[in-house]
Chain A
Amino acid sequence: MDQFIQQLINGLSWGAIYALIALGYTMVYGVLRLINFAHGDVYMVGAMMAYYIAHWLGFAVAPSAGGFVIVMALSMTVCALLGALIELVAYRRLRSQPRSSMLITAIGVSMLLEFGGQRVFGPDPKFFPQLIESHSLFRAGSVVMTNIDALVIVVSLALMIGLRWIVMKTRVGMALRAVSFSYDTAALMGIDVNRVLTFTFMLGSALAAAAGTMVGLRNPKIDPLMGLMPGVKAFVAAVLGGIGNFPGAVVGGLLMGLTETFVSAYLSSTYRDAVAFVILIGVLLVKPTGLFGRVTVEKV
């Protein structure tokens, strides 16, 4: 039983990271019907930025909780700007073109960030500075929860609640929902679609940066290709939950983290990825729109 609870904690804190990345996929898909393949790499840039900022500001040698908050906030800001830039340069002019053009461009942007990252950051793995020293927060029997695991879960929850508030309660959030409901109608109602899209990319990229920073803290080895697998997994999580659906992305991400952990624990790590994808296929066979997806009627 102890072991089961321990695995549950492991899986939740790992899944929270996927959930944060999955939200970015879902948001962009919601407004643009685009699978932004570069999103996993924005997560990588987030981790790299946090690494450099922590070193520049000296938090790498003098760790503190305040330092972590500052580093994460700055990394989120940089990535928000990067997200806006990607939207402006790579996607904006392709919006009226066939959707596959934008998809292929997304793959291009992804590769640019990965291999450009190897050039700029260097291809070797880096040790992420320990901004908060990890120690066990509580022990119950043999179950241990570290302060980092708790931090990841709490910060992710806070960010998700913040996102929900922005989307449901603010004017720009309302505009975002309107654009995701109907792009053309929203434009006719006088909503500045360009601004809404920029905002969406900024929000999603900031969440990815937060995930990158926390992964650096939790598993302190970062490299320019680190976004590859988590990007794919988070995309699967978003599809699992029903792409375009916010709570779906969160549930999908947590499910993904838990599945990986339990498969590694009770079967074998060899089957970890295979089982994750089998579950995806299974869900899509039964419910093609994902767990929380709405059925949309295509009019001819």
Chain B
Amino acid sequence: MRRQHSMVTALALALVAGAWGGCSPQGDEILVGEYGSLTGGTATFGTSTHEGVLLALKKVNDAGGVLGKKVRVVTEDDQSKPEEAVTAVLKLLKQNQVVAVVGEVASSRSLAAAPVCQANKIPMLSSASTNPKVTQVGDFIFRACFIDPFQGSTMAKFAVNTLKAHTFAILTDNKNDYSVGLTQFFRETVKKLGGEIVVEESYAEGDIEFKAQLTSIKAAQPDAIYVPGYYTECALIARQARELGLIATLLGGDGWDSPKTTEIGGKAVEGGYFTNHYSAEEQRPEVQQFLKEYRDAYNGKTPDAMAVLGYDAMSMMADALRRAGSTDGTKIRDALAATKDFPGVSGRITIDKDRNAQKAIVVLKIENGAFHFVESIAP
């Protein structure tokens, strides 16, 4: 009995030692964490971002890494859930002891995980979360994309000035910080430009039935409907709108940027416009070079904006590590904050005093099942 007891103790000690040994940072590698929605309702966001991150990582390591060491990315899946995002980031910080974190796409999930990074003084660089509140969490939280006031007001200006639409309906995902934010800035700008919001309706992420709201929208006869949500719901909304005989132009944000939009939406999303971070039809050398590398790496697939932003975020992080000259969290933060005119695929990126990226936005139109470049608008 006594013998057994001591054996159990020894075993437990061995386990603890093993686990402890496992989590100490590797000497010849720099660990960067990545968390994202590899599965769940917005799975294409996470998988695309991950592909972009890996591509940038390969480029960094092929060029000799940073600070004389190879960079390794540790990836955690948050299943498209904010509560899982917190767990994922805690695991990255505590278990893997990463020096910095890249992610997330969805604002709700970035907002859930950002306080963890802030409290541990580990810099977090969100690739595509556009809600202003994300970087307001604290001075360790950055983003590689523009923010919703810019995105929402640009779409409003485009719709009123270029499309000559006058009356608008808005269909908001009430459970989603991103969607609520875009709605607010779109509404304000439309009113400022003399347009009219004739009806506002809402839904919740995960819904599949929108006909009640769309019937109310149809009765108000708007020229255009702004649907600032994520692709799964937006594509179903487009479909049901057309089934009800609603012919208004559909407008959206970067949450539409997924191959699933046209797969689920089919003919219904044709003729819709949305704001985005990049277009594959832009002729800038950075874009064309990236397209070539991406297609070579992933069987000729055309990257969506999430892949581009994942790539840019990882490249910016490597650049910041290089300039920081150290893996200390505060030094990396200062280097990230000093990012100026970084030649990203999504544009020349300068981090402003609110830790947001300043760069141009593009408007895309859906035609024949593909996204076509309409115009690029500088901030």
Contact = CB atoms under 8 A, between A and B. Distances in A.
Interface of A: 2-3, 6-7, 10-11, 14, 118, 122-125, 127, 130, 134, 136, 139, 142, 144, 146, 148, 215, 219-221, 223, 226, 229, 260-262, 264-266, 268-270
B207 to A, nearest CB: 8
B215 A7 contact: yes
Contacts of A11: 212
Nearest to A5: B215
A268 B243 contact: no
Q: Pick the 9 closest A-B CB pairs, nearest first.
A: A264-B212, A219-B208, A123-B39, A10-B211, A124-B43, A265-B212, A261-B212, A6-B215, A3-B219
A223 B41 contact: yes
A124 B208 contact: no
B87 interface: no
A142 B244 CA distance: 9
Contact of A14 (B209, B263, B266): B209
B216 A3 contact: yes
A266 B207 CA distance: 18
Contacts of A215: 208
A127 B216 contact: no
Contacts of A136: 243, 245
Given A134-B243, A142-B245, A220 B216 contact: no
Interface string B191-233: 0000000000111101111011101101100000000000010
B374 to A, nearest CB: 26
Given A3-B216, A139-B245, A219 B209 contact: yes
B26 to A, nearest CB: 31
Contacts of A269: 174, 201-204, 207, 212-213
A65 B319 CA distance: 58
B41 A3 contact: no
Nearest to A136: B245
B50 interface: no
A270 B202 contact: yes
A3 B212 contact: no
Interface in B78-102: 79
Contacts of B232: 125, 221
Nearest to A3: B219
B357 to A, nearest CB: 29
Nearest to B209: A14
Contacts of B264: 127, 220-221
Interface string B351-366: 0000000000000000
Contact of A124 (B39, B206, B209): B39
Contacts of A7: 212, 215
Nearest to B201: A269
Nearest to A273: B204
20 contacts: A2-B219, A3-B219, A7-B212, A7-B215, A10-B212, A123-B39, A123-B40, A123-B43, A125-B260, A134-B243, A136-B243, A144-B243, A146-B243, A219-B208, A219-B240, A220-B236, A223-B41, A226-B208, A264-B212, A269-B202
A11 B216 CA distance: 13
Nearest to B200: A268
B143 interface: no
Contacts of A125: 41, 43, 232, 260
Nearest to A4: B215
B219 A144 contact: no
Interface of B: 39-41, 43-44, 79, 174, 201-204, 206-209, 211-213, 215-216, 218-219, 232, 235-236, 239-240, 243-245, 260, 263-264, 266
B212 A124 contact: no
B260 A144 contact: no
A124 B215 CA distance: 29
A269 B174 CA distance: 9
A111 to B, nearest CB: 15
Nearest to A118: B39
B243 A124 contact: no
B213 A265 contact: yes
Given A124-B39, A262-B212, A269-B212, A220 B239 contact: yes
Nearest to A222: B208
Contact of B245 (A127, A144, A262): A144
Given A123-B40, A270-B174, A219 B212 contact: no
B49 to A, nearest CB: 15
Contacts of A261: 211-212
Nearest to B243: A146
B245 A219 contact: no
A104 to B, nearest CB: 24
A215 B212 CA distance: 16
Nearest to A124: B43
Given A124-B40, A221-B208, A269-B204, A10 B215 contact: yes
A265 B209 contact: no
A260 B213 CA distance: 11
Contacts of A270: 174, 202, 204
A14 B215 CA distance: 14
Given A219-B240, A269-B203, 4 more contacts: A221-B264, A260-B209, A264-B212, A269-B202
| A7, A220, A262, A264, most chain B CB atoms within 10 A | A264
Contacts of B215: 3, 6-7, 10, 265
B196 to A, nearest CB: 20
Contacts of A122: 39
Contacts of A262: 212
Contacts of A134: 243
B212 to A, nearest CB: 4
Contacts of B79: 123
A136 B216 CA distance: 18
